[in-house]
Structure 1
Amino acid sequence: MPRQTVKLLLLDEDDRLLLIHARRSGATCWYPVGGGIEPGESLQQAAARETYEETGLRDLPAGTHVWWRDHTYEHDGRRYDVHEEWLLHRVNHFTPAPAELTPSEARTILTFRWWQARELESTQDTIFPPNLGRLLTTLLTEGVPATPTELHL
């Protein structure tokens, strides 16, 4: 059974998306806040916990369920099958200060950055998922889908 996860689109008042910069398998990449859903947690509860642990932000406003996808990735030499639920959360701009990182996160996280969609579309940096800039541009232009849509990458 795939690992159940939540991915967060934390957007500030200027439509900037918060991403984590980390070193994985010898290379660096940027990716959204998020992680595993613990047994008994709702999506919103998992989102609030992950946001606090990874960024220190308390009192995460309720999010809107926008996307989902099934995905396989490799990390530390292991293969993982995951089911991702993506939530959009509007937040006030803040400076991330992780509160409770896992040992792996503490080893690999380098910094954070707030990105404009157009910056994500044009950067040469590695972004996960790879077309996040285009996806974010579409979301900001067309609005939140009526029901969560499957991401095809």
Structure 2
Amino acid sequence: MPDEIRKVSRLVLLDPDDRILLMHGFEPGDPSSTWWFTPGGGLEGDETREQAALRELAEETGITEVELGPVLWRRTCSFPFDGRRWHQDEWYFLARTDRTATDTSGQTGLELRSVSELRWWTSAELSAARETVYPTRLAGLLRTLLDEGPPRTPLVLDPENA
């Protein structure tokens, strides 16, 4: 059904230096269309949001040693990708790790066709970036998180539709 909302868990994964891990994605049919985004993906079966976040992180980055924190932000989004339109209800979890080495061997076929690299970003680098990053306010959200700590209740971000 085309209007089905996909439940998604994403991670704001920070290392000991407060750098955030982002993935560099591209449209499989048009590799010139690129953006950066946080690790995560859709829930499978009867997974909880937390279980999906940890599974997706392990698949996409090889990182399993994490301390999963609270939900920071929630947003809905809709976008075309790989020949279809995706409608998502995304929850962004805070997570911390001491491990910065990544391993992409667990990525799915679609991820292998649409992710070119993983990179740790400082808040300053993210603020200076001229590339597309999702969610679009991530640089400011990260700065606020680092300055003030997690919000008491998840912030509801403006919907994004592409």
TM-score range for the pair, normalised by the shorter chain length: over 0.9
> Which position in structure 1 is the counterpart of 2:87?
81
Measured in 2, the distance between the counterparts of 1:120 and 1:71 equals 21
Contact persistence 1:33–1:51 (CA under 8 A): yes
- State the 1:60 CA deviation: 2.8
Q: How many residues align?
A: 153
Measured in 2, the distance between the counterparts of 1:22 and 1:70 equals 19
1:20 and 2:26 matched: no
Measured in 2, the distance between the counterparts of 1:131 and 1:149 equals 12
Quote the sequence identity (%): 39
TM-score, with structure 1 as normaliser? 0.93
Measured in 2, the distance between the counterparts of 1:124 and 1:110 equals 18
Stretches (4+) displaced over 6 A: none
- State the 1:53 CA deviation: 0.2
RMSD over aligned CA atoms reads 1.4
- State the 1:142 CA deviation: 1.8
> Which position in structure 1 is the counterpart of 2:8?
5
Q: How does 1:55-74 map to 2 (within 5 A)?
A: 55-74=61-80
Measured in 2, the distance between the counterparts of 1:36 and 1:142 equals 29
- State the 1:114 CA deviation: 0.4
Contact persistence 1:44–1:63 (CA under 8 A): no
- State the 1:76 CA deviation: 1.6
Q: Which runs of 5+ in 2 are unaligned?
A: none
SS state at 2:110 partner: helix
Report which stretch shifted further, 82-91 or 39-48: 39-48
